[in-house]
Chain A
Amino acid sequence: MEARPRTSVAGPASKARKKSPYSSWFYLPAAIVYAVLFLVPTVTSFYFSLTRWSIFDSQFIGFDNYVTFFREPALVSGLWHTVVYAVITSGLKVVLGLGLAVLLTSQIIGRGYLRSVVFFPVLVSTIGVGLTFTILMDPEDGLINESLSLLGITGPGWLTDPSYALVSVALVDVWKGVGLATLIYIAGIVSIPQEYFEAARVDGATAWQNFRSIVLPLARPATFTVILLSLIGGLRSFDLIWAMTRGGPGFTSDVIASVIYKQYQAGFYGLSTAGNVVLFLLVTAIIFPLSRYLNSKEVDL
């Protein structure tokens, strides 16, 4: 309330001051924080990825770390797992998020309550979720398999069977993350002007036509946000996998981030630094063009 008149007074004055370098100084604290916490470590990590270092000393070895890293057998499968994981989680979050958002913007009973129920898992600690689901998914006495056996189905070893482990973790990630996707979609759908729906009603459109021709195209910005966020999250995902399987059994649910972490844990600091540089480049290589492409689509609209 108080602020409004002040800004209108300050308006012309600030225009006159625009050329003065004075205001740029206000960037300085942020710039220093950014440089110290982000730029310097990034640049030094590029350098240290070329050395074999320990806490006591470092030795420059050129690109040997990268050679070793790409020869790491767990890495090749880890790369593939990372992509599979990111695509599964991202895809399911888009589909389920959109479905839930449509449901939760319609006139259903207990809408507010259901919205918070869907969003709730986002607020819980990832490690907590991981440990809980590890217990639920226990092949012998986990709740999931015990419930299935009541129906006469023998459930698989969700986290111990090599062919299911990665998918099981991805599904838990979806359970945990779909609330955020739903929230973004709800915001997107609510912001669609009512006039479109009114016009559609006049033309006698069905619910499906409403969804197909109004909601889907006009919620596109929300879709892009969900895809980008969940894909970045999926590519870097580490905490949930580490809490649930530690990359196991064997290496069957190892993603790049967990491969890197294990190298670090083993004391191969140079190698794991190189791995992080590779992860950085990989995420950039996938997300940057995708984000450009999606943004250009948005302008077309």
Chain B
Amino acid sequence: MKRRQIGLAVLSAAALALSACSAGSLGSSDEDSGGGKVTLSFLTDNQPETVKIAEGLAKDFTAKNPDITINVETRPQGTEGDNIVKTRLSTGDMTDIFMYNSGSLMQALAPQKNLTAVDEFADKLDDNFKKSVGSDGKIYGVPFGNYMAGAILYNKDVYDKNGLKVPTTWAEFDANNAKLKAAGVDPVIQTYGETWTSQLFILGDYYNVEASTPGWAEQYTKNQAKYATTPAAKAGFDHLQEVHDKGYVNKDFASAKLTDGLNKLAKGEGAQYPILSAMLSQLIADNPGTENKIGLFAIPGNDAAKNGLTVWAPNGLYIPSSTTGDKLEAAKKFLGFVASPEGCESLGKASQPTGPYAVSGCKLPDSVPQAVKDMQTYIDKQGASGLALEFLSPVKGPALEQICVEVGSGIRKSDAAAKLYDEDVKKQAQQLGLEGW
């Protein structure tokens, strides 16, 4: 009995060790692929839509370049995924191509040291995207996906029934809310069951901040401007407090989740939902037939003439500096494919586009939902859209969502919240080693 047990234990231990070995060497197993054939590994996050897009791109690329095969690997999303990417980069164990956020998160990867610059694609990319994957005048990635907006999605039927017009100032927005409340509809939907959804009034208001105080992001990065002391920046916190204090939010705001909020909006129980425009694909998938019932407008500020849309750049595709030789050539070819109209077409085939492309020469199909058309109008108009703060400054505090939940639930006042958030970002700036903190 005893001996058999020991034998079993040894066997299972050996099996474990063996399987660990093979898992570890998977990435580098086909190093010598002779005859000009190259196999590239491509790491992406495991969100179903992302995987669909990545596999679609890989397939369409191989169809055109039969000598190059691309294997898609996945990693978790969120901070766990961040750690995997950072660890693999720092140990030189990264896949040949990988997908990662652009903007402040990409800057945290130390691109000069860890990534290969791909300036040859610069003329194919949109200016806003170049800003969010650039460092020291070089460009490190091409877009993987579409632009998103941090804006207010609204139910057009509810708006029509109550005879409302799309607001361009906060005062008009407030007047609309009062009418909607009187009509028995929840004017503003909030869903703190998923805390990140609470931040839109602040993050999506950044266009208005930049419009009233140009260059704010730069001063902010240098520790010269603060949320608490810039009225335009603090306005986001004030607005969040105002919609709560005036009773404009849905009754179950504290426990509702993103899906609940989207369904409320689609059914017209709520009229307006400040959220990222990419959530549109889920709304339409869950509520068929709503493509043209949902519209989008930018978060209103103080000045109608200066109102515009805050935009989030798509994620990027990057080549780590550990990719060399034939593989580097092949990887660049793949990036070139992604940054071309053919790449956009492949992307749109894999997943319904919910925002404009960042590649020049790519056009959205005519069949896009109404909200995406609304978004495109802002982007096509000169100067009516700008990047969100996280693409202009590496400074973003981790506690913003909790602070926003507190303001939006009436636990903390907006003044105190803005001060608290200024303290929170200090830690981030120090961790990044920025000057002036």
Contacts and interface: CB of A to CB of B under 8 A. Distances in A.
Given A138-B255, A139-B255, A162-B409, A250 B402 contact: yes
B423 A252 contact: no
A interface residue count range (under 10 / 10 to 19 / 20 to 34 / 35 or more): 20 to 34
A55 B399 contact: no
Interface string B161-197: 0000000000000000000000000000000100100
4 closest A-B pairs by beta carbon, nearest first, are A266-B398, A250-B406, A160-B254, A140-B252
Nearest to A139: B255
B275 to A, nearest CB: 19
B254 A157 contact: yes
A266 B402 contact: no
Interface string B230-268: 000000000000000000000110110000000000000
Interface of A: 52, 54-56, 59, 68, 71, 73-74, 138-140, 157, 159-162, 246-252, 262-263, 265-268, 270-271
11 contacts: A68-B427, A159-B255, A246-B195, A249-B409, A250-B405, A251-B406, A265-B79, A266-B398, A267-B108, A268-B427, A268-B428
A246 B87 CA distance: 26
A267 B431 contact: yes
Contacts of A247: 402
A56 B90 contact: yes
Given A52-B430, A55-B86, A246-B195, A73 B420 contact: yes
A30 B84 CA distance: 32
Interface residues of B, number: 30
B82 interface: yes
Nearest to A265: B79
B9 interface: no
B411 interface: yes
A52 B431 contact: yes
A58 to B, nearest CB: 11
Interface in B118-162: none
A159 B195 CA distance: 14
B259 to A, nearest CB: 14
Nearest to A246: B195
B333 interface: no
Interface string B379-405: 000000000000000000011001101
A268 B397 CA distance: 11
Give the most central of A56, A59, A249, A250: most B CB within 10 Å.
Answer: A250
B110 interface: yes
B93 to A, nearest CB: 12
A252 B411 contact: yes
Contacts of B427: 68, 263, 266, 268, 271
A139 B254 contact: yes
A268 B427 CA distance: 7
A266 B428 contact: yes
